[in-house]
Amino acid sequence: SYVLTQPPSVSVAPGQTARITCGGNNIGSKSVHWYQQKPGQAPVLVVYDDSDRPSGIPERFSGSNSGNTATLTISRVEAGDEADYYCQVWDSSSDHPYVFGTGTKVTVL
């Protein structure tokens, strides 16, 4: 099945920019979604279809996708952004179509 690889952790100072990568074979040909999960809570969709934001998600969250890497960018990072982040794709060629990345813990210093 399709594999999505994320760095285990990213650290960033408040006010700076955090970039979280999601690697997969030719991921640029797929739609990538990103979820934020705070401790003890359910995941929340923060970016869908590579770069769109659901209603209520700050513009500080943005996404891009090309080649073998998708990226979630969090600008002007706040303490409240500290969470785990997961990428997810739909692999149409697989009978296991909904694949999640390994997850990245974002720590705000």
Partner 1 sequence: QVQLQESGPGLVKPSGTLSLTCAVSGGSISSSNWWSWIRQPPGKGLEWIGEIYHSGSTNYNPSLKSRVTISVDKSKNQFSLKLSSVTAADTAVYYCARRVAVASNFDYWGQGTLVTVSS
Footprint of partner 1 on this chain (CB under 8 A)?
1, 31, 33, 35, 41-45, 48-49, 54, 86, 88-90, 95-103
Q: Residue 31 CB, nearest distance to partner 1 (Å)?
A: 6
Q: Residue 23 CB, nearest distance to partner 1 (Å)?
A: 15
Tokens of 44: 């929340």
Please state the three-class secondary structure of 25-43 as a single string.
CCHHHCCEEEEEECCCCCC
Q: Residue 101 CB, nearest distance to partner 1 (Å)?
A: 7
Based on CB atoms, which residue is closest to partner 1, 35 or 81? 35
Based on CB atoms, which residue is closest to partner 1, 41 or 107? 41
Based on CB atoms, which residue is closest to partner 1, 8 or 80? 8
Is residue 81 helix, strand or coil? helix
Query: Of 70, 101, 97, which Cα lies nearest the Cα of 88?
Result: 101
**Rounded Cα–Cα distance for residues 73 and 90 (Å):** 21
Based on CB atoms, which residue is closest to partner 1, 80 or 92? 92
Tokens of 2: 């399709």
